[in-house]
């Protein structure tokens, strides 16, 4: 099993990735998340090379698919004003 996620890891992921004390593959995956959720989601040829240094084509596809689902879900709940931590079904 992989390394257990620590609070400091989450803090590092939310901070400046250039200074993050995280594995290079993790930083690259987080940068992919940033690119795919940006207003202009373009993966440059240079970033494609960086991704290939850490991940196989299949892993890149899996990361992209997971990020697309998470990002799409976030847009859906925002569009409908749903707040999962306080949402409850309407009374009948």
pTM > 0.85: yes or no: no
Q: What is the pLDDT of residues 32-83, one digit of tens each?
A: 999 998 889 999 999 999 999 999 999 999 999 999 999 999 889 889 988 7
Say if residues 35 and 43 touch (Cβ distance below 8 Å).
yes
One-character DSSP codes across 15-34: S-GGG--S-HHHHHHHHHHH
Task: Give burial (CB, 10 Å; 0-12/13-18/19+) of 74.
Answer: exposed
Domains in the chain: boundaries: 7-79
């Amino acid at each position: 099993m992989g390394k257990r996620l620590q609070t400091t890891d989450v803090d590092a992921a939310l901070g400046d990735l250039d200074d993050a004390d995280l594995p290079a593959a993790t930083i690259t995956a987080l940068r992919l998340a940033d690119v795919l959720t940006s207003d202009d989601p373009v993966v440059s040829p240079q970033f494609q090379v960086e991704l290939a240094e850490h991940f196989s084509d299949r892993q890149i596809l899996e990361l992209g698919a997971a990020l697309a689902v998470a990002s799409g879900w976030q847009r859906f709940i925002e569009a409908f004003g749903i707040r999962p931590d306080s949402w409850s079904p309407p009374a009948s």
